[in-house]
Amino acid sequence: MQGRDQDGDAVDGGSAGSAAADRELLDRIRAAPVLAGPLPHFDPDTAPAAPGPLFADWLDRALADGVPEPQIVTLSTAAADGTPSARVLLLRGLDSADCAFVFAGDSGSGKGQDLAARPVAALTWYWPAHGRQIRMAGPVDVLGEEATRRDYLGRSPAARIAGFTGRTSAPLDGPGEYEREHRAAEALVAAEPGRVPATHTVYRLRAREAEFFQADPARWHLRLRYTRDGDGWTRTLLWP
């Protein structure tokens, strides 16, 4: 495996070969098309007064146009010491009137520990086929037992079994341990179909700030930020 010294230089014997391979990869990504379009039009002047309806509108358009997996979103959190981390997950619920977003995970996972220490986070979507990035940030709270049950029991059988298999983000011995835990989880779900894993947690991020970025093939990008202001929102155009 290749390491790096303090100056960032490659330190193992294969460095010349891997540096050439890196350059070749870079050449290929530089040649790859980006924001080639055609991309949808966005007029900030006619955008709704609140960001929730605009999010719903962009999501609706993404679904209608077959944008792949628009429900996948990056959640960024920070640990108690400020260390940031980000991972993708599924959007599980939406309250567009309140600009609030629901996602679920294990309370013992990295995100669960971060959110227990600092209940604030950011969500980022990027839909390449539309050149659209959406950012939401704000406080996060944990929803109650009823919402947790509904979220977990509304999942596919495979997802419910996965929810009882092992502990998210804990070290795994290997495939043997995985298989054992999976079989035990299968038996448990079959015997107790109404049971919900104790650590399954449903979170809600209520946006304090929202930003919509519409990319343009000619780089005439548009950015519109919404900031919560009492019961309403302030809208600001930003330089891209």
139's tokens: 């406080």
The residue count for binding ligand FMN (CB under 6 A) is 14
The distance of closest approach from Cβ of residue 102 to ligand FMN in the complex, given in angstroms and rounded to an integer, is 10
Of 6-14, 99-107, 130-138, 180-188, the segment contacting ligand FMN by CB under 6 A is 99-107
Euclidean distance between CA atoms 135 and 125, whole angstroms: 7
Whether 88 and 105 have beta carbons less than 8 Å apart is answered as no
Task: Tell whether residue 168 is a contact of ligand FMN (CB under 6 A).
Answer: yes
**The only residue of 104, 140, 202, 215 in contact with ligand FMN, by rule CB under 6 A:** 104
Task: Tell whether residue 169 is a contact of ligand FMN (CB under 6 A).
Answer: yes
Of 191, 100, 92, the residue nearest 147 (C-alpha): 92
**The only residue of 20, 72, 158, 187 in contact with ligand FMN, by rule CB under 6 A:** 72
- What is the distance, to the nearest Å, from the Cα of residue 31 to the centroid of all Cα atoms in its chain? 28
For ligand FMN, the closer of residues 115 and 224 by Cβ is 115
Contact positions with ligand FMN (CB under 6 A) in 35-64: none
Q: What DSSP line would sit under 72-115, residue for residue? A: EEEEEEE-TT--EEEEEEE--EEETTTTEEEEEEETTSHHHHHH
**The only residue of 40, 93, 110, 128 in contact with ligand FMN, by rule CB under 6 A:** 110
Of 31-39, 49-57, 81-89, 187-195, the segment contacting ligand FMN by CB under 6 A is 81-89
CB-side exposure of 38: number of CA atoms within 13 Å? 3
Contact positions with ligand FMN (CB under 6 A) in 177-216: none
Task: Tell whether residue 90 is a contact of ligand FMN (CB under 6 A).
Answer: yes
Interface contacts to ligand FMN, rule CB under 6 A? 72, 85, 87-90, 103-105, 109-111, 168-169
